[in-house]
Structure 1
């Protein structure tokens, strides 16, 4: 460590500050510090103003979101209730029930055919027969 090169700091400082007195150095440092403090105070004031504006904006956005959420819930419930009362919804439910019934019937029929490959009746289950005409069905 003693072999390290040493820089003569006093010599450099004496060259830079040689024509200044001690009181001048204090005044220059004081002016620099006052400028730094003034700029920091201005920046702090600007940041506080920005903070207040952002808090106000967050508060207004939160209130707006709550109002919109309430309106959406009120309108959404009404729209859903109106749709459920409509004929389209009712016919859709009927169609779903019919499709489910036909699908289950076909699954049962295919299982029956798989279990009994050569059944005694070879009729088409979906063909119309004269006795079907007597069954009353609503047309949609």
Structure 2
């Protein structure tokens, strides 16, 4: 590793630091590690303890940033920080726009669902079968209501007679052969 890097760390060299992994000797597994990880020992299995995992990740993610702080000029760092701030602001604006679009899409979906249900009802009411069914229901309701009213009238006034409508279709009329639809002749009568 020393030959690969080709650098030596001196006490008066404040601009560049390197960690030589080859200098690490065999460690005692129960000895505390000398890093910013207070809870970690050499034998610690970090995947078993969540608090240790968080501490390890914090320590693991910062060395790149620390190296750049010590090796790059401050102008470069300021430019990078400004660039990151601009990118962060743009990302927040894009996220806000996406949230607005999502909210608008959800409102459109809800209004479309409501309109679809309304339209389905209107289309169903336009069907011929539905209209005929309503007519039949009206006739049945009218006939039933008429029969109930007639029965009530006859129970209250047994001596009275009710004149029946001659155009009412009755079950006994079904045996008479006759077409339901008669052609209407509206021509002038012959002169005599």
Query: What range describes the TM-score normalised by the shorter chain of this pair?
Result: 0.3 to 0.5
TM-score (norm 2): 0.32
TM-score (norm 1): 0.41
| Structure with more helix by fraction | 1
The structure with higher relative contact order (CA 8 Å, sep 6+) is 1
**Of the two, which has the highest radius of gyration?**
2
